[in-house]
Amino acid sequence: MYITINPNLCYSCKTCQLVCSFHHTGAFWPSKSSINVFRNPQDGIIEWSINSTCDDCKDEDTPLCIKYCVYGALSFFKEEKKGKKL
C-alpha cells in the first residue's frame, strides 16, 4: 500500500496531519500523527514524511489524509509500481 505526494499540489495546510492524529487517538493531537508536513515560510520549502505507525486507515474506505486533502496532493495506490512511496 502506497501513499504518494504530488509536491506541486500541496499547500501545506497540514489537514492530513491533524486528521491522521484523530484516526489514531480520537483527539486532535498532531504530535501523534503518522504523517508530518514541515514548511519553511522563508524559503518556500515543504517536506513530507510518513512514519511506521501509518496503518493505511484500514477501517476506512480511503485513508483519511487523502479523503481530507482538498488540494488533491495525496494519492493512494495498492500496487507498488504506481507511485513513489512517501
Partner 1 sequence: MIKEGSINGCLAGKILRINLSNGKIRTEPTAKYAEKTLGGRGVNSLIMINEIKVGTKWNDPKNLLCFGVGSLVGTMAPGTCRTDVSTVNVFSGGKGSANVGGFWGSELKYAGFDNIIIEGKSENPIYLYINDSDIEIRDANLIWGKTIFETENILHQELSDREIKIASIGPAGENRVRGSAVIIDTAKAAGGSGVGCVMGDKKLKAIVVRGHGKINVAEPKRFMREVAKCYQQCKNEPNVIMMRKAPFNKYSNPDYEGWNTNMVVRNGQDDYWEREKRIELMNVKTGVPNIQKGTRACYLCPIGCMPFMEINKGKYKGTKGEGFWINTIMGNACRFDISDPKEVVKSWSLANELGLDGDYIAAGLSWVFELYEKGIITKKDTDGLKLNWGNGDALNKLIKKLAYREGIGDLLADGMVEAAKKIGHNSEYYLIQVKKQPSIEPFRIPKGWSLAVSTSPVAGRHLRGATMGSNTCGPRPRPGNFNVIDYHNQAKGVVWQGKTKELEDNLGICNYVGTWTGANFLTLDNFVELINSGMGITLTKEELMDHYASIGINLEKAFNVLHSNISREDDLPPKRFREEKVKSGPYKGSKVEGTKYNKMLDEYYELCGWDKKTGRQTRTGLEQLGLKKIADKISKYDKLVM
CB 63 within 8 A of CB 57: yes
Please report, as a single letter, which amino acid is at residue 71: Y
Residue 34 interacting with partner 1 (CB under 8 A): no
**In a 3-state reduction of DSSP, which class is residue 29?**
coil
User: What cell was used for 55?
Assistant: 496503518
CA 51, 52, 54: angle at the middle one, nearest 5? 85
Task: Tell me the per-residue interface mask from 35 to 64 with partner 1, x by CB under 8 A, - otherwise.
Answer: ---xxxxxxx--------------------
Judged by CB under 8 A, the stretch of 10-18, 55-63, 75-83 that binds partner 1 is 10-18
Please pick, from the candidates 1, 4, 12, 76, the single residue that binds partner 1 as defined by CB under 8 A: 12
Binding site for partner 1 (CB under 8 A): 11-15, 18-19, 21-22, 25-32, 38-44, 68, 70-71
